[in-house]
Amino acid sequence: MGHIHTRLKLGLIALLAAATAMMAPQAAIAQEVVGADVPASAEPQEVPAGETEAADASSGYVPMDPVEGKGMPTSAEDDIWASMTFQDQYTADGAYALGMHDYILLPVITLISLFVLGLLLWVILRYNRKANPVPSKTTHNTLIEVVWTIVPVIILVIIAVPSITLLARQYETPPEDAITIKATGYQWYWGYTYPDHGEVEIISNMLSDADAIANGEPAQLAVDNRMVVPAGVPLRIQTTAADVIHAFAVPSLWFKMDAVPGRLNEKMLTIEEPGLYYGQCSELCGARHAYMPIAVEALPMAEFEAWILEQGGSLPGAEETTDEALPLGQETGVEVDADSDAADADIPAP
């Protein structure tokens, strides 16, 4: 009977370990899905002129329409299975992680759970007092003990290989020519700056439910000014915060990084295709934590550059041409010197 207790205990430990393994990646990108369902009647977008921001009317950039189910959570009414698993992934790391979840973790967890359930039922039916009035006095079985030690080790190694690979991939440093975008968390909105593009700064606030639905966007995920980025090239996303700790998280891009005041965190992001990807602040940051969503709009490079110019930014490498047009002393290098001179002048001579 003793070894059965041990076996049950081991079975439970295996089940717990499996449950933990299942929870971990989900917790990593878990997010509240609050009123995210777009009304089924949402027409394929024909946003009336003037419905979108005033700045867009005169210019080339028109905010991209969301694609149902892409870069956003799915409601249970629309698709019960899609609502229970991860969002479709649009980065290589995300695809890898999703594959690991679908083809390794989930099958392993399911098999272990069924196996342990079978053992429990067997013990309950076969070894209860009525069915088995005289219990066996067996205390050891070397073969079984070796098996129940070795098999879990093999299972853990099978899980560890892709798991550590994924961890390493997520730490990959962005290449030198990656485009830097800095996301700053504020109570309770996001700011996006583009240091490679003339310090363009975008302040991004959540739209009201009515405005979001009028735009054909999911309520409480839509924002007034999106974080526009180029698709298909490596981005160096830096996160920081101005007040308390926030976290910049976009589930469909497999991206989550804390935004900590006084620190600059950095992680590479390469979005595979143009699209609109929604996320949320994922670190409890105060009263309106749930109302500081993230909307990342990935555009082809040419459209991204046009958007940057529209925002008053500049293109890296285009400085030679813009310098000529600027009055002397206005080019970046000299400007910095002038600032520091001015700062020096304020300090009284010793």
| Residues at the contact surface with Cu ion, assessed by CB under 5 A | 246, 281, 285
* C-alpha R_g of the chain: 27
Q: Which CB sits closer to Cu ion, 18 or 253?
A: 253
Tokens of 292: 């500081």
Smallest gap from Cβ 263 to Cu ion, in A, equals 15
Residues 228, 45 contacting (CB under 8 angstroms): no
In angstroms, the CA 261 to CA 285 distance is 12
Would you say 273 and 286 are in contact if contact means Cβ atoms under 8 Å apart?
no
Cβ neighbour number for residue 124 with a 10 Å cutoff: 10
CB of 255 to Cu ion, least distance (A): 15
Is-contact 75 83, C-beta < 8 A?
yes
Choice between 79 and 243, CB closer to Cu ion = 243
**Nearest-approach distance from CB 295 to Cu ion, in angstroms:** 15
In whole angstroms, the minimum distance from the beta carbon of 340 to Cu ion comes to 34
> CB 293 → Cu ion: shortest distance, Å?
10
Q: Which is nearer to Cu ion, 75 or 225 (CB)?
A: 225
The residue among 65 and 258 lying less far from Cu ion, judged by its C-beta, is 258
H or E segment and range at residue 43: none
The Cα–Cα gap between 55 and 67 comes to: 23
What DSSP letter does each residue of 268-298 carry, written as one string? EE---S-EEEEEEE-S--STTGGG-EEEEEE
- In the complex, the smallest distance separating the C-beta of residue 281 from Cu ion, rounded to whole angstroms, is 3
The answer to whether 319 and 331 are in contact (CB under 8 A) is yes
Cβ nearer to Cu ion, comparing 197 with 267 = 267
CB of 37 within 8 A of CB of 218? yes
Q: Closer to Cu ion at the Cβ: 97 or 281?
A: 281
